[in-house]
Structure 1
Amino acid sequence: MPLHMKKLILSMEEVGNRMEIITSETNKDIKKIIGLLEKSKNRRKEDSYVVEGLKMVFEIPKEDIREVYISKTCYENIASGNVDKKIVDVKSFNKEGEFELGFSYKVISDALFKKISDTVTPQGILAIVKRKHYKLNDILNRKVKKDGLPDKQVIMILDDLRDPGNLGTIIRTCEAAGVSGIILSKESVDIYNPKVVRSTMGAILRVPFYESEDLKEDIKKIKQENFKLYAAHLGGKKLYNEVKKDGAYGFIIGNEANGISDEVAALADELVIIPMYGNVESLNAAIAASILMFS
């Protein structure tokens, strides 16, 4: 073990005594974190959202990070090298022997971190991050390329999707399936809801999305750009894998309880159906979206 790391471990108690540790729920930083976790209006007002977990925090581009908070135990684990080196590569130490992460941070007591965390077993690190703002054309003009696979220009349109877990899973699957981006109706769940962010497993940092103020009008614009749109609908006459999908195209997924609205369905080029055995009438929205994306 390097001498400077031994010195760091031996002096951890001293470092701990020197650190300023946040312990009170009334602290202004803590109030801000709780507000961002609990209310979408706060996330919009602050133009920020919260990301938790080592892997996701260390994937965020440094320029997008506003603030970072670390629990005392997490601080000590990183400083002593007791973390996954594939995620956290602590290369430098400052003159006081404290580790440097490449961004500033504040330390929170373990008890308080657990209390404010949105996860059952928190890893002890969270970041306040700047929201992304994409335009519709950012998505329509994006082609996804990967060696050995065909270039793709595919979009996913979500009509009033409400479940955070479904949205998070769809975002993650969009990245895996090579989808260019996501268009959401304004009544859909907030894309920066903590449950959405967590279930994307980092894909929210890489998959573009556009929050539409008028979905019907935006669908008309999308069709003017020669995208063919296929809506998952119980009234579909064709199977999802029977329609010819080439060039630029997209899928429409509707609300978990009510499906796609009649007005939006009427704008699709084709209504398609996923055949099912048994007495099942419909699939979970995220599962249906995944089947379509990989068809």
Structure 2
Amino acid sequence: MISSLSNQQIKNLTLLLKKAKAREEQGLFVIEGPKMFEEAKEEKLLVKAYASESFFNEITSQNPQYFNHLDYEILTDTLFKEVSDTKTPQGIMGTVKWRKDSLEQILAIPNTCLLVLEDIRDPGNLGTMIRTAEGAGMTGIIMSSSCVDLYNPKVIRSTMGSVFRVPVYQAEDFIDTLYALKNKKIALFAAHLDGKPYDSEGSFIRDCAFIIGNEANGLTEEVSSMADFQIKIPMEGRVESLNAAVAAAILMYEAARQRRTGNLTENDIR
């Protein structure tokens, strides 16, 4: 049983929780909680488990084989609370392999419908977008290199496991990546305050991508100018815009609705 913060494994676990550079160098990130732990096991991405003493005793009393075939360590309850990134630790953590998705893999998925993110900085927003993308049936997510780290612990928690299943590609050259989408005849719809209502700018049944910008500043002019259509969500009252994750959810689920009903309009031929 490990009881000290000076233990080398615990030092590394803390490093993975706090430093994006360490996560990148090791190709690992940290998950917490039974739900995420079970999903990581199911996806065969789990590298090592770390359990608090009380969690270990409780779970093995119910299922003695729970940790069979797993590489694991037991931590004292006090140490586990010190290491955990959450206010109310649930007794189980694990290190998990990065999922590597290439642009080519994402673009090879049929019936393309992508979420493209420029400079999203809030971990909760990014995690919510990934979770919503899975629910709405999006085929992948493309992020600019300036977005918050995909494997930030707050991002991971917000995805509720969707990070294991949604293809995500982080573009080193965001503009070149947008050109690659255009070359594939993927219609680019940029969420923009100066755009037209989204229900007036063609359908989302064709291969398409929604581009969502930074929470405070929106999309850069260069990215906006590359879009085939600039769209907005109609607002009542004095509201000018919505939270980036909420706006993305509305657009993704509108695409899902159109694809589910399959009702074509005259705009589909654009």
What does residue 198 of structure 2 align with?
A: 240
What does residue 139 of structure 1 align with?
A: 106
What does residue 7 of structure 1 align with?
A: none
CA distance in 2, matches of 1:79, 1:26: 27
**Highest CA radius of gyration, 1 or 2?**
1
1:261 to 220, 238, 243: 220
Structure 2 residue 91 is matched with structure 1 residue 124:
yes
CA distance in 1, matches of 2:53, 2:88: 15
CA contact (8 A) 2:5 2:79 kept: yes
How far is the alpha carbon of 1:62 from its aligned partner? 6.2
1:49 to 29, 33, 50: 29
How far is the alpha carbon of 1:131 from its aligned partner? 0.8
What does residue 75 of structure 1 align with?
A: 56
1:58 to 38, 41, 45: 38
What does residue 154 of structure 2 align with?
A: 195
How far is the alpha carbon of 1:55 from its aligned partner? 1.1
* Number of matched pairs: 252
Q: Match for 2:85: what amino acid?
A: D
CA distance in 1, matches of 2:67, 2:226: 53
1:1-295 → structure 2 map (5 Å cutoff): 21-60=1-40, 61=42, 63-81=44-62, 90=63, 93=65, 99-143=66-110, 152-236=111-195, 238-243=196-201, 244-295=203-254
CA distance in 1, matches of 2:27, 2:200: 43
- Show CA shifts across 1:158-215 (max 9, x none): 0000000000000000000000010000000000000000010000000010000011
CA contact (8 A) 1:62 1:103 kept: no
CA distance in 1, matches of 2:44, 2:133: 25
- Identity among equivalent positions (%) equals 45
CA distance in 2, matches of 1:278, 1:30: 52
How far is the alpha carbon of 1:63 from its aligned partner? 3.9
Say which SS state the counterpart of residue 266 (structure 1) adopts: helix
Gaps of 5+ in 2: 255-270
CA distance in 2, matches of 1:118, 1:38: 9
- Show CA shifts across 1:260-292 (max 9, x none): 010011111100011112222211000000000
Q: Match for 1:132: what amino acid?
A: R
More helix per residue: 1 or 2?
2
